[in-house]
Amino acid sequence: MPDPADFSDPADAADATGSAGSVDATDLALIRATQAGLPLVPAPYAAVAAALGLCEMEVIARLAAMQARGVLRRIAAVPNHYRLGWRANGMTVWDVDDARIDALGARIGALPFVSHCYRRPRRLPHWPYNLFAMVHARAREDAAPQVAVIAALLGDACRAHDVLWSTRVLKKTGLRLPPSGPDQ
């Protein structure tokens, strides 16, 4: 299912509601029309355009412009990996030397089997991990080589790691704007 158009941070959400004027009424209508996902039809942008009384190229251009300005983070497919047979989904967590985490994190995030990778603060004394990387496989034993590749790339910069296995799919949504009303 297509990922909803979402905002990169709360400041952008404030802009979209009119306080800073970074989007106009047509952009807001476009955000509202796509925030739950693009229609699953052969020409989704044309369908959105028809619903809004725009042409397809204007929809595409406006979405691209909002993405370039940082109003929209991304428009992407978000498959249900469980239904696709990928049931061993593990968030690998790593305690990595702070002086090397940025360079190493970029290398880990570029691996073809890592769907997302990011830095997070430690919560000592109970949570020493500062680098997170999500891996996917059909079975946990199939994910072990992926975890080993990450460990090898991190080398002596890594002090400890663990894998937190997903047990269910959580609802994946971005910010949702309320429906437009007479005062918006």
Q: Token pair of 53, please?
A: 């009384």
Domain count, the chain: 2
Residue 131, class by beta-carbon neighbours within 10 Å (0-12 exposed, 13-18 middle, 19+ buried)?
buried
Q: Token pair of 156, please?
A: 């002596």
Type and span of the H or E element at 13: helix 10-16
Residues 6+ apart with CB under 8 A from 79: 1
State the Cα–Cα distance between residues 30 and 136, nearest whole angstrom. Answer: 33
Q: Token pair of 104, please?
A: 């190493």
Tens digits of pLDDT across the chain (184 residues):
333 333 333 333 333 343 334 899 999 999 999 988 899 999 999 999 999 999 999 999 999 999 999 888 888 777 777 777 788 899 999 999 999 999 999 999 999 999 899 999 999 999 999 999 999 999 999 999 999 999 999 999 999 999 999 887 776 666 677 877 544 4
| Residue 138 within a domain | yes
| Residue 75 within a domain | no
The residue among 172, 181, 138 whose CA lies nearest residue 25 is: 181
With b for 16 or more beta-carbon neighbours within 10 A and e for fewer, the 95-111 pattern comes to bbeeeebeebbeebeee
* 109 and 65 assigned to the same domain: no
| Residue 92 within a domain | yes
* 121 and 151 assigned to the same domain: yes
Provide the domain limits for residue 26: 10-69
| Residue 182 within a domain | no
| Residue 170 within a domain | no
| Residue 178 within a domain | no
* 56 and 14 assigned to the same domain: yes
Q: How far apart are the first and last CA of the chain?
A: 29
